[in-house]
Amino acid sequence: MAKEIDAIDRVMSSGEKPVLAILGGAKVSSKITIIENILDKVDHLILGGGMSFTLPKQWVEASETHL
């Protein structure tokens, strides 16, 4: 997980826009802190895998479409 955190830090500190974050996997518990910390810093967030079914309702804005 250290590699992922380092990569996120590099992108967030670059200042380049727009920022798209793509996260996936089944274990929401290991990613919820990351999601909460980047949610207001990214322009778009794509979630895949099992974690996409366990989002708090207030995070789901425009689409509930499953691709």
Q: What is the DSSP string of the chain?
A: -HHHHHHHHHHHHH--S--EEEE--S-GGGTHHHHHHHTTT-SEEEE-GGGGGS--GGG--S-----
Rounded Cα–Cα distance for residues 63 and 57 (Å): 11
Residue pLDDT, tens place only, 7-62: 888 888 888 889 898 888 877 777 888 888 888 889 988 888 777 777 666 566 54
Tally Cβ neighbours within 10 Å of residue 19.
Answer: 15
- The domain locations on the chain are 2-59
pLDDT of residue 55: 66
The separation between CA 57 and the C-alpha centre of its own chain, rounded to angstroms, equals 15
- The structure tokens listed for 58 are 């207030």
pLDDT of residue 60: 62
